Structure 1
């Protein structure tokens, strides 16, 4: 019974991971049924490929040896290769959807989810409950599979869209394999578990930066000013009190998904909730991660990101934000340019010379 609970938890965390990854696909969301199809088909194919490669190595006398941590090193390369090849075999399903950089990471995340769910089931079935590592592996390995594969997903997009991207894909595979191999080594022995934290932290920072970069590069990206100009006659709805002039009258309202903005007709300022502010930064500034920590708005000591959000005023007690559209729009555009610049300066950014 406990094993079933642990497997269910791994499935739950996997769904949360895909939901989180899909939240980065802010400009043109992928069809859910195609994501589900890639998860099922890609997961099964990647497991079959990996098992086939394990059998080949085993026949040559190469296998994981208990008590020898570095014998786990080749596991990361086999499983990442299995996921990457499975993504290629999913091409008939996704070829019509591969039209922006975020799509590669999205679909390889689905393959990784399917792979991890199958792996978790067999691992739980074969491992005694007394093992202190079983819960750790079943809870964190699914998000890790997703995070490790992200760079291959983006490189896959470059390879299929632009001539000469295959070397980039090879480099991405090597990077993903090394990261995955280190994780396998750290998580397999209790005395190496502190290293798991470093891998977790690094993988998620890597994932956030990659997905911010792909969002900034999307051909479907528009500015906040363009979004607002797309409402020639916004509906007037009961709004919130303007932080600038105090006007509490109903206001023209701009809505899209979780975004809900009000324009004060008395002074021209825009008003929204802090939650909407986060969505605006995701959609139009291409910045992800935990924005609650990154935006401080403390008087005299603003956090790094908050200092860049020029023209934004916050009432913490009411959780309301107001801003000047032109100033805030320029700040968001600068955030996009900054995301691209910072990512392309990284040593692992293999595609910085690509179109």
Structure 2
């Protein structure tokens, strides 16, 4: 790791720390002075409960989900050699959302039963990725062909999700949270279910950095260097699906995170995936944390302006706006980058 890259990691760490502070101070239930009292060992029982049982797990879940999506997006784009192969457009996120929505809409799971949601989202994510794998066939190494099949699979899974909403309209309120993405109501149980699964697959993704780097160069060159391209690609897809399912099962679908983070990570940290994969995790965590802080602050401001009491703005709505802007910036900065 060069000195320049090391300094960029330090700078990103400082930005992440600032984002964490902003997210912790952005909520309604505790004022900044009350948060400071709790952090210094004071505060009453209610303030400590709100901070440690609501704010902290929400923060950790947001960080974990962002890191998972950042790594999953980079793994997908490297394995498929496609700069548009984010979890959102390859059937992975739509499949995971379909699994979670189906389980929730049919009463098999819900926000209060995260273990069942994790299982449902994982099954749905693997189903979406498996459908893409089967349809792509021998065109798996062709970025253009894979992109077309990915859009097709995502559209089909999105249609199935809409059908579930028609079957179970009474669950529309809770289902919308899966479609847009929300960190509201995240507690320690969600974090404890997510982090071991996410950590294990994130470590596997880092161990795949070498094969993924070869896959980015093309199947012919990878095979010439002794890599079984199809096997390595299948393992990479497995890893990406598992990481996406971990994020979706915790917060729902967060638009643009898995698609934009790889572009920014490569622009900032370079093409060495042993370095860029941890960078993508930090970038994803930072973006989602910033988005959550903005969502809470905007919701409070709108509630005051509209005199509407308590308003909630899903973090997924903010990541979509941030993602569009950052992705446009990244594409303009690296217009000729090829995979």
- Same fold per superposition (TM over 0.5): no
Larger radius of gyration: 1
- Structure with the bigger percentage of helix: 2
Question: TM-score, normalising length from structure 1?
Answer: 0.31
- Structure with the bigger percentage of strand: 1
Question: TM-score, normalising length from structure 2?
Answer: 0.32
